[in-house]
Structure 1
Amino acid sequence: MTWEVDAGGAMLLVLLTAALVAASWAWVPRGRRVWAPAALGLLAAALAWSGAADLTLAGDAPRTLLVALAGALAVLGGGPVTTSLFALVDAEGRAQGDVEGDAVRDAWADPDSDSAQDADTLERAGQLLRGGAWIGVLERAGVLAALVAGWPEGLAVVLALKGLGRYPELRNAGTGAVAERFIIGTFTSVLWAAACAACVVLA
């Protein structure tokens, strides 16, 4: 296997490795506030570097390493970033008073109460859309594989499968927050995987 990497190509590999390390640490709840934004910043830097710099990544070994790093970052990094975004949206909703505080407290105290049915929060929606973390992992892996393989139509397949699989829950949930959480999570996950794929395609 040949190995031909210049300084620009090595820098891209270093940025992706650093982003992967940050994304791994972001799975720890206490470290999410620091490491999820760090992973996002490092991915943005890697994406900008791959598009702007004159890189040399020739040979099977460097390309394989690049794809492996981007794939691992897509799968591992999307989860903490999406969770962090949910936390921001939840906090903003509470701060703006989108939901009455008493209704939210009653919803958690008694899930069968009328207040619980009216508490249209993203926190409650997260309980209804179970398995989101694993679905997101598969979604990001599919998106990255489709884009790196030069088959952008694969995005439509991945999103169609996810939409069809979630349709019963979205239809029966009866709350707008469930659909909101689904859309936010899907967009965040797909954009993250697409950015990781772009680092490979542009290099």
Structure 2
Amino acid sequence: MTALVLSLTAAGLVLAIVALILPAGSTEEIVVSAVMLACLVADGIVLLAGDGVTGWREGWWNVLLLLSGGLAVAGGGPLTTSVLSLVDRGNTRAQSTQQAGEVLRGGALIGALERGAIYASMAAGWPEGLAIVLAIKGLARYPELRAPDQPATVTPQAVAERFIIGTFTSVLWSVTCSGLLLSR
């Protein structure tokens, strides 16, 4: 079971790196992100069917710590852009969350830092860190969410929608990745 969990997690991390290379929002990125998500779901099923990571040697648990941490940080970006691309299908240009990305610059880097901080706080057994990370992000982004001087091609609703969908996807991904460790 240990080998299967570590293999699935490593495969997910490789897929995350491949998805980072692909054009954001492309069909290929969406497919690779879906397979990456499937690896994480399969990990969860294997851990639930067994005894979780109970009884694992500490060395293997540390490998899982590193692999799932890398997956949390690297995989959340492509997954979030894939979700936003799926949300945008059929929207007009003014409603597009992709256009809202012009207002919320730096989202990819902020998201990676956010996922890393959330993963670390959850893995350390300190879930309160999640509230702190989200409070900092919300306070830091508030001026951009309420700025009256947004481009005419972007609606305030699209900016808020991008912020909420991106944050929820990113947070849920990093919490799920840390859940692998917490299955003791």
* Fold match by TM threshold 0.5: yes
What is the deviation of 1:47? 1.7
Alignment of 1:11 with 2:8, yes or no, is no
**C-alpha distance after superposition, 1:15-64 (max 9, x if no partner):** 10111111111112264132111101111111222222135553331121
Kindly indicate whether the alpha-carbon contact (under 8 Å) linking 2:30 and 2:79 is maintained by their aligned counterparts in 1: no
Q: Structure 2 matches for 1:112-127, cutoff 5 A?
A: 119-127=94-102
TM-score scaled by structure 1?
A: 0.80
Q: Structure 2 matches for 1:60-79, cutoff 5 A?
A: 60-79=58-77
Alignment of 1:131 with 2:103, yes or no, is no
Higher Rg of the two aligned structures: 1
Corresponding residue for 1:86? 84
Corresponding residue for 1:114? none
Corresponding residue for 1:40? 37
Kindly indicate whether the alpha-carbon contact (under 8 Å) linking 1:19 and 1:43 is maintained by their aligned counterparts in 2: yes
CA distance in 2, matches of 1:63, 1:76: 20
Runs of 4+ in 1 over 4 A off after TM superposition: none
Return the match for 1:21 from 9, 14, 18.
Answer: 14
Corresponding residue for 2:160? 179
Kindly indicate whether the alpha-carbon contact (under 8 Å) linking 2:8 and 2:42 is maintained by their aligned counterparts in 1: yes
- Unaligned 5+ segments in structure 1 are 1-7, 94-98, 105-118
Corresponding residue for 1:197? 178
What is the deviation of 1:92? 3.6
**C-alpha distance after superposition, 1:139-164 (max 9, x if no partner):** 10111111111111110000001001
- Amino acid across the alignment from 1:192: W
Partner SS state of residue 202, structure 1: coil
Kindly indicate whether the alpha-carbon contact (under 8 Å) linking 1:16 and 1:46 is maintained by their aligned counterparts in 2: yes
- Amino acid across the alignment from 1:11: L
CA distance in 2, matches of 1:140, 1:48: 23
Partner SS state of residue 200, structure 1: coil
- Amino acid across the alignment from 2:15: A
Aligned length: 173
Partner SS state of residue 51, structure 2: coil
19-28 or 131-140, larger mean C-alpha shift: 19-28
CA RMSD of aligned residues (A): 1.5
- Amino acid across the alignment from 1:188: T
Corresponding residue for 1:169? 144
Kindly indicate whether the alpha-carbon contact (under 8 Å) linking 1:20 and 1:72 is maintained by their aligned counterparts in 2: yes
- Amino acid across the alignment from 1:120: Q
More helix by share: 1
